[in-house]
Chain A
Amino acid sequence: MLDTGKWLACYLTTGKHMSFYASFGTVLLLLAITAPTALAFGFGGATAARSGFAPLRWLGKIYIAGVRGIPDIAFFLFFVIALDQGFEWMRHQWMCPDWDQPIRQGNDFVVCAQAKLPLGTAPQWIHEVYGFATAILTFAIVFGAFSANVLFGAMRAVPRAQIETAEAYGMSARQSFWRIIVPQMWVYALPGLSNLWMVLIKATPLLFLLGVEDIVYWARELGGTKQARFTDYPHGDWRLWYFLGLLVFYLAFTKFSEVILERIMKRLTFGQATSGGHAEAPA
């Protein structure tokens, strides 16, 4: 028998634990890809909602309002299947034009073999990457709507006089949008966006619901009771400790983000006439 310290050292470095540690990287990767993508979606949504062309404006407004009134978890569960089926359906139309059977047969969704995503013959890692990519796209769509809402408000918060001045200088609507509104809106958007970043961090465990092997998946997997017959490291139900670990991870992560965002806000609003920019009078 090994003593406790050595046992733990061995236990915590098993292959499965390495996958567990790597899944923290998955979460960070998701955040790193989703945040800019969602911002881009949000920018598109906000611009559409301000558009002079009515159908585009309605589309933008529906995008913003729709995702807000409905529980986001429903959107996550919905988009993961809907996106998958949507892609397969498009590929099906493209690749198998002479397919004559209906795609929805009772409770089945049938497309031709070439249109399957990923292909039935693809190796396992392709399946995992595809699953992860749909998850990212789902996150980007949902969080894009939230950030569209923030950016839409920020664009409207840019003082009217600024735009009037731009018009007086003879700028076109497009010019005043890109040269006046876009550079100035970020200060107004930052409080909303930093709130959104915190929310995004706290939404990452939902990856588990989307079928990605994330930290929640591994915490459940590794923490569950293990019997001596199946493993060299038998133990009871340790899920509690694994989840406590996750809790600490998230608390540290949100606290850290809070501190950083506070600093960015201070720097960006330095000397600006916003509520954040009014430095409190030194005592």
Chain B
Amino acid sequence: MSCWDTVQAYAFRSLGYGERLLPRDDFTLCQQFTLIGSGMIWNIYFGIIALVFGFAFATLLALGKSSRRALIRKPVEWFILLFRGSPLFIQFFLAYLIFLRLKQAGLVPEAMTSAWAGALVVLFLNTAAYSAEIFYGALRSIPRGDIEAADAYGLSGWSRFRRVIWPTMLRLGWPGYTNEAIFLFHATTLVFFTGFPALQQRGDALYYASYFADKTFNPFIPYPILAGYFIVLTLCVIGVFGLVNARLNRHLPQDKRQKIRFKPQIIR
């Protein structure tokens, strides 16, 4: 089988298209590249969707945490503590078991026990909690003068939030949030190593990499391939977030702009 045939057979294997059987012996480099790359589709899917929804929810949570009303603040604080204080690994297991119970009771749709929906919910809540903490920190470090200036212009309520507070919060929190995004993409590799099943061996990049490592008993090929894919993905994330950062900082003189520094927070 030529390499192109392999690509055609396995490029979308992780989604269930193409060849059903995974290679069993005579593993070629091309197969490893293709299948691990195919698995990356899942990592990108989980990462992007959780980020988009997590961003919106995190903004709300950050506002909730800085609320003066204890009735709003306390639940938000507990939520953040729950997701930041416990390992994501345990969260996945627990969520899977809870969804399983709820499914048996007919309270949630069947999809919740499969990775594409259930794990996505966990990642979404998790990244929302971590990002909320970043945004909350940014919210607290908005210069007092900015808000006073907004008051002086007669801005209040929603328009003050939309025109002054929110953009400043994003600008201050953005370098931290970039690291959170990188680290979320890395965290997506945990999904198929917890309760969530990889039905018909449709897994993510790490799932296939460990498949090859187990079968060939040689970790020195699949894991570096995976690492290569993730370095490219990380560079893309930094690129995109850098563009947003440039836009958020466009009104500032060059030397006052916040640089994005690559400093991920590692495992949760």
A residues adjacent to B (C-beta < 8 A): 68-74, 77-78, 81-82, 85, 104, 106-109, 146, 149, 195-196, 199, 201-206, 208-209, 216, 237, 239-240, 243-244, 246-247, 250-251, 254-255
Contact = CB atoms under 8 A, between A and B. Distances in A.
A82 B185 CA distance: 24
Interface stretch (B59-67, B107-115, B166-174, B258-266): B258-266
Nearest to A83: B219
A244 B98 CA distance: 10
A74 B217 contact: no
Contacts of B86: 202, 247, 250-251, 254
- Among A74, A104, A199, A254, the most chain B Cβ lie within 10 Å of the Cβ of A74
Closest 3 CB pairs between A and B? A71-B186, A202-B87, A78-B223
A195 B265 contact: yes
A81 B265 contact: no
Interface of B: 25, 27, 81-82, 85-91, 93-94, 97-98, 100-101, 185-187, 189-190, 193, 206, 209-210, 213, 215-220, 223, 226-227, 230-231, 234, 262-268
Contacts of A255: 81, 85
A56 to B, nearest CB: 23
Contact of B97 (A77, A82, A195, A240): A240
Contacts, number: 121
Given A107-B217, A202-B87, A74 B193 contact: no
B266 A250 contact: no
A247 B206 contact: no
- Among B94, B219, B263, the most chain A Cβ lie within 10 Å of the Cβ of B219
A74 B97 contact: no
B209 A74 contact: yes
Main secondary structure on chain B at its contact with chain A? helix
Contacts of A106: 25
Given A199-B268, A202-B86, A247-B86, 5 more contacts: A73-B190, A149-B263, A199-B266, A202-B267, A251-B85
Contacts of A202: 86-89, 267-268
Contacts of A237: 97, 100
B97 to A, nearest CB: 4
Contacts of A73: 186, 189-190, 193, 206, 267
B87 A204 contact: yes
A146 B179 CA distance: 14
B72 to A, nearest CB: 22
B267 A251 contact: no
Nearest to B179: A68
A81 B213 CA distance: 9
Contacts of B187: 71
A81 B90 contact: no
Contacts of A244: 94
Given A72-B266, A204-B87, A250-B85, A77 B93 contact: no
B223 A72 contact: no
A71 B25 CA distance: 27
A206 B267 CA distance: 10
A104 B209 contact: no
B215 A243 contact: no
A254 B88 CA distance: 13
B206 A69 contact: no
B100 to A, nearest CB: 8
Contact of A199 (B93, B189, B213, B265): B265
Contacts of A216: 89-90, 93
B206 A74 contact: yes
A203 to B, nearest CB: 5
B193 A209 contact: yes
Contacts of A77: 206, 209-210, 213, 219, 223
A74 B189 contact: yes
A251 B223 contact: no
Contact of B94 (A74, A107, A196, A243): A243
Contacts of A240: 94, 97-98, 101
10 contacts: A71-B186, A73-B190, A74-B223, A77-B209, A109-B217, A149-B263, A202-B87, A239-B93, A244-B94, A247-B86
B24 to A, nearest CB: 10
Contacts of B268: 199, 202
B159 to A, nearest CB: 32
A70 B267 CA distance: 11
- Among B86, B91, B100, the most chain A Cβ lie within 10 Å of the Cβ of B86
B226 to A, nearest CB: 5
B89 A72 contact: no
A195 B134 CA distance: 14
A250 B190 contact: no
B82 A251 contact: yes
